[in-house]
Amino acid sequence: MGYLMGSGLLAVIVGIIILIADYVFIEFSAKVDKFILDLDTLLKPAKLLIGSLLVVLAVWFGYIAVKYQELWYFHILWPLALIFGALYLFHPDWLEALSKVANSVVFPTKERLRGFFKIIGILFLLAGIYILVMAYIFTFNNI
């Protein structure tokens, strides 16, 4: 029963820490929410090569899809590879537009994290108390 007591105490302590010190997690998310790399600058010199490779892969995947009908997933792969290869070859700026869309904030984390941390902290507290009560009941009912 010691492991139950330990896990219950740990859950209660984590719940209290999350409820009291949620600013630590907010600061951590601000540090993690940084711009790491620019995909456009990394792939700009190789767009023609990547597009050609994707078109060649699409032809090969199409050949495999026709020859081996039981490999159903190749019927999905070859059109995807062909579309992305054609985009790289004939419209090379699509990645830049996609990158601008992806860099925009889709989910405002800083505003919603406080509410989520309160809910998670309360859930940890409730789970810890439940585990401690069950450990107490099991310990003293088996004597």
Extents of the domains making up the chain? 2-141
Mean pLDDT by 10 residues, the chain (143 residues): 85 88 74 70 82 94 92 91 90 77 65 77 93 87 68
pLDDT value, residue 139: 82
pLDDT value, residue 109: 63
For the record, the structure tokens of 76 come out as 């999905």
In 3D space, the residue among 81, 8, 15 whose CA is nearest the CA of residue 50 turns out to be 81
Tell me the three-class secondary structure of the chain, residue by residue: CHHHHHHHHHHHHHHHHHHHCHHHHHHHHHHHCCCCCCHHHHHHHHHHHHHHHHHHHHHHHHHHHHHCCCCCCHHHHHHHHHHHHHHHHHCCCHHHHHHHHHHCCCCCHHHHHHHHHHHHHHHHHHHHHHHHHHHHHHHHHCC
pLDDT value, residue 94: 78
CB distance 132 to 5 below 8 Å: yes
pLDDT value, residue 30: 72
